[in-house]
Structure 1
Amino acid sequence: MSEKNAVHGPQAETHEVSLPPEVKLLQEVTPPFFPEGGSAMTILVEWPPGHPGLPPHRHSGPAFGYVIEGAVRFELEGEPERVIKAGGTFWEPGGDVIHYQDGNAQSDAPNKFLVTMVCAPGQPMLTLVDEEELKERAHLRAPRPSEG
């Protein structure tokens, strides 16, 4: 089995799994520690052309996504905005990090993406960020493309 088809995981030396050629590894990350009692959900998001997505928000735990169709404009606090096209993946650590954008990057076609989110025990999966906090944390946001 080629290295490309081996999934090592965080403890590669003891838990290696070989995948058949029909299975393609799309993303492998080590998320932050997650406490016992959490939950997870997978959602399907379908934005119409040009939809801005959700307003700035944060997730209580890590989130992992895959773009099925179209393109997603994705931006996390401290990272530049980027466009993720169909077949691409994204992830975010959750917790205190603000998720600024998840809208449709195309004005002429819909997009579709899956997100699996891990929820911290006793916390909502998603919390909107108010204008006051956005102003307080503005220095943590990467420069906007229009700002150069």
Structure 2
Amino acid sequence: MSTGVWQSALTVLQEAEPPSIPVGAHAMTVVIEYPPGDPGAPPHRHPGGPAFGYVIEGEMRFELEGQPERVLRAGEAFWEPGGDVIHYSDGNASDQTTLRFTVTMLCDPAQPMLVVVDEEELAQRKHLRAPRPA
């Protein structure tokens, strides 16, 4: 019996140990597309659970609370733990090309999927943000 391509078709992009998933949670997968130079969503969090993503096209400026900002390129994966962690940036890092990425979120039905963080809270938590380039 010959071996199939399926045996070598899998590539692991990332592995993570997310926080526990609440009973009754559901998964939601979305595709987000930002035009060139778009700053993306304002600082926010996903209180209902973790989010796992993959950059399909372009370059994403990605920053989570406590981690330095980095640029993710097409073919790279990311995740965020959800809960109280602020997601500062998911904007398009290029002013020339479109950014498209997919995100799968595990959502506690008792929590909103996304909550924008206001300026007052950002100021209160600025000590938790990684140093920014000068």
Q: Identify the residue that residue 96 of structure 2 maps to in structure 1.
A: 108
Give me the whole-angstrom Cα distance separating, in 1, the residues matched to 2:7 and 2:117: 43
State yes or no: 1:67 paired with 2:55.
yes
Which residue pairs with 1:20 in the alignment?
7
Distance 2:122 2:28 in 1: 27
Match in the other structure for 1:57: 44
Amino acid at match of 2:11: K
Local SS of the residue matching 1:145: coil
- Local SS of the residue matching 1:20: helix
1:34 to partner: Cα distance = 1.1
Give the equivalent residue in structure 2 for 1:43.
30
The amino acid of 1:111's aligned partner reads L
User: How well do the aligned residues superpose, as a CA RMSD in angstroms?
Assistant: 1.0
- Residue equivalent to 1:141: 129
- The runs of at least 4 aligned residues of structure 1 exceeding 2 Å deviation read none
3-state SS of 2:12 partner: coil
Which among 83, 91, 100 is matched to residue 79 of structure 2?
91
**Shift in Å, 1:80:** 0.2
**Partner of residue 120, structure 2:** 132
Gapped runs of 5+ residues in structure 1?
1-18
Deviation at 1:107, TM superposition (A): 0.8
DSSP 3-state at the match of 2:62: strand
Please report how far the alpha carbon of residue 121 of structure 1 lies from its aligned counterpart in structure 2 after TM superposition: 2.9
- In structure 1, what is the Cα distance between the partners aligned to 2:70 and 2:7? 32
Identity in percent: 64
CA distance in 2, matches of 1:134, 1:128: 10
How far the C-alpha of 1:135 sits from its partner, in A, is 0.4
TM-score by length of 2: 0.92
1:114 & 1:108 partners in 2: Cα distance?
Answer: 20
Match of 1:10 in 2: none
CA distance in 2, matches of 1:21, 1:35: 34
Tell me the distance in 2 between the aligned counterparts of 1:33 and 1:74.
Answer: 24
Which structure is higher in RCO with an 8 Å CA cutoff and minimum separation 6?
A: 2
